Amino acid sequence: MFRVYFNRRRQYFSVHLDEVSPDTFHRQGGGRWGWFHETWSNPYKGEFGTIHIVASRVRHDVVAHELLHGWIAWLKARDVAVTFRNEERLVLIFDEMVRHFWKEYEKQ
């Protein structure tokens, strides 16, 4: 398990690389190779959610897919609409999530 910080380290996702079969996640109602679960009690600080990925299936597309679920949940939790004025700032937060995921993953 490791943490992926974002929003200037105010928030994070807990990432679990599970040693299970892809069928296990699918039977439990998640995606085949990963799933995202919201855990936040405050949408502005602390843990925001958990990401579970089948350890043998960590790929760029799977990670991007689950992080995008997290980013969209974050936007909804804060009632943020994407506009021309805030688009770049919001995309930079997603960039931060992706960069920090791979940085922490490489430490494993």
* pLDDT at residue 22, rounded to an integer: 82
> From residue 62, how far is each of 33, 66, 107 by CA, in Å?
7, 6, 19
Length of the chain: 108
Statement: the pTM of the whole predicted model exceeds 0.85: yes
**pLDDT tens, position by position, for the chain (108 residues)?**
999 999 999 999 999 999 988 888 877 777 888 999 999 999 999 999 999 999 998 999 999 999 999 999 999 999 999 999 999 999 999 999 999 999 999 998
